[in-house]
């Protein structure tokens, strides 16, 4: 009898469900994925409230998740809540309603724990070396930064500077003006000071970008430059990154959606995500950028499979 594991990531912008079949030696085969733009934080980020619309979209997606889970009776199921469910003052009532539908517990984790899971996930996709690299995962509510090598995590931190949060805070409109970019960078200057002390300390020049916005960036890069699609990872040329960044920031919303490789529901957040990425690249002196298709949910899966192996 095949054993299944299902991981649900309840993010601020997107809910992701990953269902895998266990294989020997910590291996797995993906049998199903569900990704939905829930925009749980939309309209409520600045006062830490999930709006009625966010609750409605969230619960509709939870119903879909339940229908998928029903196809895998007996699957081990882990549901993880992140930034918006950590911060929102009314998250308890949303969680209670979602748990009722799922008939399972939702674990809301700290930003630190989230960063740790992300590191475990990314290391399954990207071949790290002994020299530490910077891992970055841009969510809707928070951004996680981790400094790690192939065996160790040296430093990790979660900042409440996610793409949806920046978009709402600075009323970002496409195309993005130079003034808006400057305002965001000034805000990031105030927020991310410790990050750059650490990138200097560990002599960082490689950035591994996890899932989300980086996935879109990698897709646009592959199509724009006719590159080979390699499973779970993709090296992004720094000049390509700069060209895509300039193209997206100078485009209208309609033009962004029409860029080949752009995921429509990410078009709203992509400018904020790219401004943050460009800022980090410049401030940390990044020379190499790699995309990892694996992120938090694969990290949760990795930890879970390890646990099961040792029980």
Please count the helices (runs of H) and the strands (runs of E) in the chain. 12, 11
Question: Which residues are CB-contacts of 148 (< 8 A; sequence separation ≥ 6)?
Answer: 119, 123, 128, 132, 133, 135, 154, 156
136-194 pLDDT per residue, tens: 999 999 999 999 999 999 999 999 999 999 999 999 999 999 999 999 999 999 999 99
At 207, give phi and psi (nearest 5°).
Answer: -115, 125
Q: Which has the closest alpha carbon to 166: 21, 26, 271, 87?
A: 271
How far, in Å, CA of 116 to CA of 156, rounded? 7
pLDDT in tens, 244-278: 999 999 999 999 999 999 999 999 999 999 999 99
**d(C-alpha 138, C-alpha 288), whole Å:** 18
Q: How many percent of the chain have pLDDT more than 70?
A: 99
Q: What average pLDDT score do residues 13-34 get?
A: 94
Top-confidence residue, 129 or 1? 129
Answering whether pTM is above 0.85, one says yes
Residues 6+ apart with CB under 8 A from 156: 112, 115, 116, 119, 144, 145, 146, 147, 148
The total of other beta-carbon atoms located within 10 Å of residue 257's CB is: 17
């Amino acid at each position: 009898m095949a054993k299944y594991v299902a991981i649900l990531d309840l993010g601020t912008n997107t809910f992701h469900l990953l269902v895998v079949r266990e294989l020997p030696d910590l291996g797995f085969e993906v049998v199903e994925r569900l990704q939905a733009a829930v925009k749980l934080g939309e309209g409520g980020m600045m006062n830490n409230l999930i709006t009625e619309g966010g609750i409605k979209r969230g619960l509709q997606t939870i119903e879909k998740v339940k229908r998928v889970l029903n196809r895998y009776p007996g699957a081990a199921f882990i549901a993880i809540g992140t930034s918006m469910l950590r911060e929102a003052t009314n998250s308890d009532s949303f969680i209670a309603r979602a748990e009722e539908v799922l008939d399972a517990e939702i674990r809301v984790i700290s930003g630190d724990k989230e960063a740790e899971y992300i590191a475990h996930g990314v290391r399954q996709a990207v071949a790290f070396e002994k020299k530490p690299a910077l891992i970055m995962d841009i969510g809707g509510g928070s951004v996680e930064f981790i400094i790690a090598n192939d065996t160790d995590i040296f430093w990790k931190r979660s900042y409440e500077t996610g793409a949806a949060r920046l978009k709402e805070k600075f009323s970002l409109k496409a195309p993005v003006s130079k003034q808006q970019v400057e305002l965001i960078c000034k805000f990031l200057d105030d927020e991310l000071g410790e990050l750059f002390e650490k990138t200097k300390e560990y002599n960082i020049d490689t950035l591994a970008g996890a899932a989300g916005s980086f996935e879109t960036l990698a897709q646009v890069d592959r199509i724009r430059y006719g590159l080979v699609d390699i499973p779970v990872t993709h090296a992004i040329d720094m000049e390509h990154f700069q060209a895509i960044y300039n193209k997206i920031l100078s485009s209208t919303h309609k033009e962004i959606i029409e860029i080949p490789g752009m995921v429509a529901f990410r078009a709203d957040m992509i400018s904020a995500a790219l401004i943050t990425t460009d800022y980090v690249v410049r401030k940390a002196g990044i020379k190499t950028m790699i995309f990892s298709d694996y992120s938090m949910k694969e990290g949760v899966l990795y930890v879970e499979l390890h646990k099961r192996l040792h029980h």
